[in-house]
Amino acid sequence: MRPLTEEETRILFAKLANYTGNSLKNLIAPLDNTPDSDRFVFRLHQSRCYYVRLSLANLATSISRDKLLSLGTCLGKFTKTLKFRLHITALPILAQHARYKVWVKSNGEMPFLYGGHVLKAHVGRWSDDCPEHQGVVVYNLHDTPLGFGVTARSTAEARRLDPTSIAVFRQADCGEFLRDEDTLFS
């Protein structure tokens, strides 16, 4: 495991800021105000980026690289062209710090969990003043995070769309744990 380079950090923060907004600072802030407080850091292992406590990352240095499978929460993966792809395993962190949210009705949960986009007819409500092409976390009406995606239209434009138009392009959903269980962590 190694720390991220400046360019990797910039790419990662740009991707996370699309979903979290200003609360991105809370991801790397110390857990409390004491001098010996622990904080979370980002570490790279075999092109995957992990979000882990610094004390745990320091302990993991004693494990050889070929024996270490995973540590902390896997946020995603850097491609060979240095693009960052968020994985569904980042959902708990994104849901906790999300700036914009979309709630789907019960008739839209299953199509989304099977890999489909969110249609306007399936949207129960969504955050006010959400711009176009902004990262959102998709919830059901019971406030359970189901996945995340990118808005197709702004909130104002989406109100005028017909019911069969796409409101949110799916990036990842909880159904991926079953659909991609063979390749998700390999």
DSSP-derived letter for residue 4 is: P
Tell me how crowded residue 49 is: count the other CB atoms within 10 A of its CB: 26
User: Quick check: 156 and 179 in contact, CB under 8 A?
Assistant: no
Q: Check pLDDT > 70 for residue 9.
A: yes
d(CA 67, CA 81): 26
- CATH architecture of the domain formed by 100-179: Roll (2.30)
Compute the chain's Rg from CA coordinates: 18
Per-residue pLDDT at 17: 93
Domain with CATH 2.30.130.10 in the chain: 100-179
**φ, ψ at 75 (rounded to 5°):** -85, -35
Given 3.30.830.10, 3.20.20.70, 3.10.450.220, 2.60.40.10, which CATH number is that of 2-93? 3.10.450.220
Whether residue 170 has pLDDT greater than 90: yes
Looking at the DSSP bridge assignments, the partners of residue 148 are: 137, 172
pLDDT band at 33; cut points 50, 70, 90: confident
Give SS3 for 124. Answer: strand
pLDDT for 146 equals: 95
Q: Would the pLDDT of 111 be above 80?
A: yes
Q: What is the pLDDT of residues 59-91, one digit of tens each?
A: 888 888 888 888 889 999 999 999 999 999 999
Compute CA 60 distance to the chain's CA centroid, rounded to the nearest angstrom: 24
Mean pLDDT value of segment 11-22: 92
Portions of the chain given CATH number 3.10.450.220: 2-93
The model's pTM is 0.87
Query: What are the angstrom distances between the C-alpha of 1 and each of 4, 12, 27, 143?
Result: 9, 16, 19, 35
Q: What is the pLDDT of residues 97-107, one digit of tens each?
A: 999 999 999 99
